[in-house]
Amino acid sequence: MNLADSAAALRARRVSCRELAQDALRKIAELNGRLNAFLTVTEERALRQAEALDRELAAGRDRGRLHGIPYALKDNLWTKGIRTTNGSKIWQDHVPGESSAAFERMESAGAVLVGKTNLHEIAYGVTSSNPHFGVVRNPHDVDRIPGGSSGGSGAAVAAGIVPLAMGSDTGGSIRIPASYCGTVGLKATYGRVSRYGAMPLGLSLEHVGPLTATVRDAAIALEALAGYDARDNATSHRPVERYEPDDAAVKGIRIGVPENFYFEYTQDEVRHSVEGALGAAETAGVRLTPVRVPDIEALNTISRVVLLAEASALYEPYLDRRELFGPDVLALLDQGRFLPATDYVNAQRARRLAQDEFRALFCEVDLLATPTLPITAPRIGEKKVTIQGREEDVRLATTRFVRAINLIGLPAISLPCGKDSTGLPIGLQLIARPFEETLLLRVAHAVEMALS
């Protein structure tokens, strides 16, 4: 059952908060041996919390649509009194004394935490094949990666264990597992959701957001998560809107379809599926407009420079103990240490100009539509993929269409738009102007409806 349906069933007294929590916990027990999506299960706490929430509902206190909904948090989000590993040997036994803003807001909305999800080590990678806590597996094919870094969250939602799981996204880490696992993944505008208590990786790039089964569910989660937080200087004072999509018409909304970059070196089945979704969107009333996007390859290079420098700066104090890190993460951290400081400053200067280019582009269109990823989920352990005759590193191929959006801080969503011939999910990415999440979610919902 998705989040909105569970919320409706609770209010119709067809199910209790305790029964929803028990169901999620039963599924974890049944499936986690196969998927390795959860690092910590908070069974006792969840059942206690669910019973208290049942008593609240019986007494007429309803906290809203998340009341009694079981959910999971990526294990890089602090949970006071509950282990938070960041997928790292450094914090393998770390129990934080404070909670992340995401956890606090979910708690106050009445959502029931059932566990913490596995991730790529320190959220720095796309496979979620964690050297310390084991490989996370894709529920659609357990020999394949779920994507990352929020791989456990993607797998948990895709397997139907929970209707909602939180992730974080520094270079695509919410949208990537959403696309590979066939869920919805939402990264709101930089500064819309507080990052407080999210263990940092790339300070100027990272976002916290939900993975869900439907666009409506992502909107419900965002309403609870969004808003100013004095502990995160990047958060905005803009009022939180009502993001839940209504059935308002999308007629005339201009969707830019890139003529350059986004459909190049993309698997044929991915391209066909995304084109099919855009056709459905057009039938629903949107206007498709061909556009030329800024040099995304250049933005990806700039983004790599920024992230390498920011991540290595943060991890410098731990790098004299190389045995703490897996080889892929250590390689990236080494790279960041040897980048000249001038490169970092120039990357941030180029970033400002890129922001201006996107602002100009969004005068022509209201949204952009692209494939989320050029490929479907690679096999576990696969290092290279061949796309239209060109061999490419799995990490670079996986981040190619998503990471530039973190550099610009734009809101973006990935939603399922089909499957390849082997049954692996394909994602459509929609991108909007800063703080236009309401429009983004309305159009995403319309596409989802058109495809169903």
Partner 1 sequence: MIASALDLGVPDAELERTAHVLDALEQSFRPLAAGLPFAAESALTFVAEAGRE
> Which tokens belong to 295?
């040099």
Contact track, partner 1, 354-393, x by CB under 8 A: -x--------------------------------------
- Binding residues for partner 1, rule CB under 8 A, total 33
The span from the first CA to the last CA of the chain, in angstroms, equals 16
Provide the minimum distance between the beta carbon of 390 and partner 1 in the complex, in angstroms, as a whole number.
15
Contact track, partner 1, 253-292, x by CB under 8 A: ----------------------------------------
For the segment 327-356, give every residue that binds partner 1 (CB under 8 A): 330-331, 334-335, 337-339, 342-343, 345-353, 355
Q: In which region does residue 328 sit, left (phi positive, over 0), alpha (psi from -120 to 50) or beta (all else)?
A: alpha
List Cα–Cα distances, 160 to 37, 68, 114, 129, 182, in angstroms: 12, 16, 13, 21, 11
For partner 1, the binding residue among 44, 233, 239, 391 (CB under 8 A) is: 233
For partner 1, the binding residue among 89, 116, 144, 304 (CB under 8 A) is: 304
Say if residue 26 is exposed, middle or buried (CB neighbours under 10 Å; 0-12, 13-18, 19+): exposed
For partner 1, the binding residue among 22, 92, 204, 289 (CB under 8 A) is: 204
Provide the minimum distance between the beta carbon of 180 and partner 1 in the complex, in angstroms, as a whole number.
24
Residue 122 phi/psi, 5-degree rounding, is 45, 25
Provide the minimum distance between the beta carbon of 327 and partner 1 in the complex, in angstroms, as a whole number.
9
CB 174 within 8 Å of CB 187 = yes
Closest CA to 180 of 208, 148, 204: 148
Query: Which is nearer to partner 1, 293 or 444 (by Cβ)?
Result: 293
CA 417/CA 59 separation, integer angstroms: 42
Closest CA to 426 of 270, 268, 280: 270
What one-letter code names the amino acid at 148?
Answer: G
Query: Which is nearer to partner 1, 70 or 434 (by Cβ)?
Result: 434
CA 157/CA 181 separation, integer angstroms: 8
> Which tokens belong to 266?
């993309």
SS3 assignment, position 365: coil
**Active site (catalytic) residues:** 74, 149, 173
For the segment 154-183, give every residue that binds partner 1 (CB under 8 A): none
Say if residue 263 is exposed, middle or buried (CB neighbours under 10 Å; 0-12, 13-18, 19+): middle
Query: Which is nearer to partner 1, 351 or 433 (by Cβ)?
Result: 351
CA 281/CA 165 separation, integer angstroms: 27
Provide the minimum distance between the beta carbon of 275 and partner 1 in the complex, in angstroms, as a whole number.
30
Query: Which is nearer to partner 1, 409 or 418 (by Cβ)?
Result: 409
Provide the minimum distance between the beta carbon of 114 and partner 1 in the complex, in angstroms, as a whole number.
33
Provide the minimum distance between the beta carbon of 205 and partner 1 in the complex, in angstroms, as a whole number.
11
Q: Which residues lie near partner 1 (CB under 8 A)?
A: 204, 230-231, 233, 297-298, 301-302, 304-305, 308, 319-320, 322, 330-331, 334-335, 337-339, 342-343, 345-353, 355
